[in-house]
Amino acid sequence: MQDVMSSTDIAQFLEQDQNKDLLRFLTAGSVDDGKSTLIGRLLFDSKKLYEDQLAALERDNVREGHAENDIDYALLLDGLKAEREQGITIDVAYRYFSTNKRKFIIADTPGHEQYTRNMVTGASTANLSIILVDARKGVITQTKRHTFLASLLGIKHVVLAVNKMDLMEYSQEVFENICGDYKNFVTRLNIPDVHCIPLSALKGDNVVDSSEKMPWYDGKTLLHHLETVHVGSDQNFIDLRYPVQYVLRPSQGYRGFAGKVASGIVRKGDELMVLPSRKKSVVTSITTYDGELDEAFPPQSVALTFADEIDISRGDMLVRPDNMPKVGRHFESMLVWMSEEPMDPTRQYLIKHANSTTRARIDKIRYRIDVNTLNKSESDAFELNDIGRTVLTTNKALCFDAYQKNKATGSFILIDPLSFNTVAVGMIIDRVSEEEMPSRITGGEQAAAVAGRSMITKAEREERLHQAGATIWITGLHGSGKNELAYKLERELFDRGAVTVLIDGSVVRAGLSRELDYSPADRAEHLRRVAHMCRMLNEQGLITICSFISPDESIRTQVAEIIGKERFYLVHVDAELEFCKAQEPELYAKAERGELQYLPGVDMAYDCPVKAAVTVDQRHVGVDPEKVVSYMLAQEVIR
């Protein structure tokens, strides 16, 4: 640092430092392969540690070190208490440092299979992956798993760091055998640049300085390789993709569109197209916080203005008219499940792609892949850390590219719409045509639709709603309290999460049956209509709560037959006539004076149910819905 400061002034040094390019890399490997130790050694030997960090390292090494007589450099990375106690990495730890040639962001990722999602998180933005192997063990299952994940996430540069060479007497034969095994495996994957380095993280061999103990190795040290590996060509500067993040309107005279250039280069005077509207206009300015630019490229965040006042909103994408992304609702992707909650193929998730968010469903899992063996198997759902190929359909069309071509427009996350937790990350493979969609309507399903039958099965509805479609038919005299019971029951079921529809006789009379009177014939027609309505709702998986006098036993039987006896549950509110009269004295008085006809209990009979599923005794316990709810639980109408 002193040499640099003496040979140039501070302004030049800061400008030079500002213009250094950035390399993001991660370390991956099995437990005890020395990932954290390697990074610690890298920082220590390149003299990028401050005095207080060194003092803390020496202090922690005495108390918690696992390296016997040497300094345990892993303590620089393992920040969590559990990590230090177990000597393993659990969470992703990021470190930043720079040399005279380059700036670095390091992601130290866990080695355990159970933390696969953490490794995916760390690798999602990396240019290069350092895969560590223990020279004593060679290429093992975890080595293959981590290499596969690096390939899956589109990392084009891999360094195979053969660590702990000091424990194998720095043997050239051991190193070459491991490299041969690894290269045989990696040829099956899409990783064009693989570099092997023998080293000892603990002793510092070939990490920053070349090792005198391995004179047979004439390649680069790890730091030298990191400083010189060319990653600039990994960026896509051809296909312009500019997802709009914000519409800027600070004054009447300015209307700009802010976002990050995902790929390609945009210049003033370029004609761009807005997706999905397909309107075109010419770029008039490219603005940043520091002023105007003539061109912008990834990953710059800029604001664009256009010659025309065309409609552009957040989530739209700006592209060149002759270089379009794919636009569609159906696509295949590789999905990494990251939630403790297993995938539910019957529900919809939110999908966040670029700056657009909509709903999506998982139509089919093509296969699940065993990341340890690369074997494929059939699966109906994913659990935590599962990876597989899936077909997705979104509610709104997305503008996307294949992930291998463009990470920004080829990646997405799935979000639980209730908890808003990220449940999965995905890498788009390609669009799927309507004809290839696994969810397309088959011949049998088309016939069902034509015949008016739902393509959703009863079991699917019950699984989704956690209930069975059923009708709770409450009968009783006027004034018995059946309406009160119906509304209390609705409240109780709602609080338990059930999906219900309450059908009140007076409401139906006011609309669907308003031309009918209370004569036995019209009352039967009225109940027939209600029964058909209940049947339709029950077939949709809903629970209907009906409150009707329905005084005739034969009519109640007919209603049960229309609805379906297996889902018809009769509840009788048992109350004496005198009690009912006391509740509604005017109504009964009017009937007794002959001013009202067909009132059950006065001028027509009321048949008490012979075999009610539940009888609620109004005289002793009132209309507590608990007895009905208990019965529904016992019958598994609700769960």
Give the H or E element holding residue 389.
strand 387-400
How far apart are the C-alpha atoms of 623 and 196, rounded to whole Å? 79
Do 483 and 583 touch, CB atoms closer than 8 A? no
380 annotated ligand-binding residue: no
3-class DSSP state for residue 437? coil
Nearest to 396, CA basis, from 348, 452, 451, 429? 348
Up-side HSE of residue 194: CA atoms within 13 Å toward CB? 21
How far apart are the C-alpha atoms of 397 and 275, rounded to whole Å? 10
269 annotated ligand-binding residue: no
How far apart are the C-alpha atoms of 573 and 546, rounded to whole Å? 13
Give me the sign of the Cα torsion angle 173, 178, 179, 181.
positive
Dihedrals φ, ψ of 388, to 5°? -170, 175
410 annotated ligand-binding residue: no
Give the H or E element holding residue 493.
helix 482-495
Phi-psi region of 621 (alpha: psi -120 to 50; beta: other; left: phi over 0): alpha
Q: Which residues pair with 547 in a beta bridge?
A: 474, 504
8-state DSSP, 263: B
Q: Which residues of 389-404 are buried (b: 16+ CB within 10 A; e: fewer)?
A: bbbbbbeeebbbbbbe
3 annotated ligand-binding residue: no
112 annotated ligand-binding residue: yes
545 token code pair = 């709560």
Tell me the CA end-to-end span of the chain in Å, nearest whole number: 69
Dihedrals φ, ψ of 552, to 5°? -95, 130
How far apart are the C-alpha atoms of 3 and 195, rounded to whole Å? 32
Q: To the nearest 10°, report the CA torsion of 152, 154, 156, 158.
A: -40
385 annotated ligand-binding residue: no
29 annotated ligand-binding residue: yes
30 annotated ligand-binding residue: yes
User: CA 427 → CA 107, 335, 383, 410, 431, distances in Å?
Assistant: 20, 7, 18, 6, 12
78 annotated ligand-binding residue: no
264 annotated ligand-binding residue: no
328 annotated ligand-binding residue: no
Helices (H), 496-563: 505-510, 520-539, 553-563
Give me the sign of the Cα torsion angle 424, 407, 246, 353.
negative
How far apart are the C-alpha atoms of 202 and 186, rounded to whole Å? 27
517 annotated ligand-binding residue: no
163 annotated ligand-binding residue: yes
536 annotated ligand-binding residue: no
180 annotated ligand-binding residue: no
Dihedrals φ, ψ of 426, to 5°? -135, 150
Q: Please, which residues have CB within 8 angstroms of residue 18's CB and are 6 or more apart in sequence? A: none
617 annotated ligand-binding residue: no
Q: Please, which residues have CB within 8 angstroms of residue 305's CB and are 6 or more apart in sequence? A: 254, 255, 256, 257, 283, 284, 285, 287
Q: What size, in residues, is the chain? A: 639
Residue entry with tokens 């019971």: 485
476 annotated ligand-binding residue: no
Do 352 and 426 touch, CB atoms closer than 8 A? no
How far apart are the C-alpha atoms of 49 and 620, rounded to whole Å? 81
Nearest to 428, CA basis, from 239, 144, 153, 193? 153
Binding site membership for GTP: which residues?
29-36, 108-112, 163-166
Residue ranges at the known binding site:
29-36, 108-112, 163-166
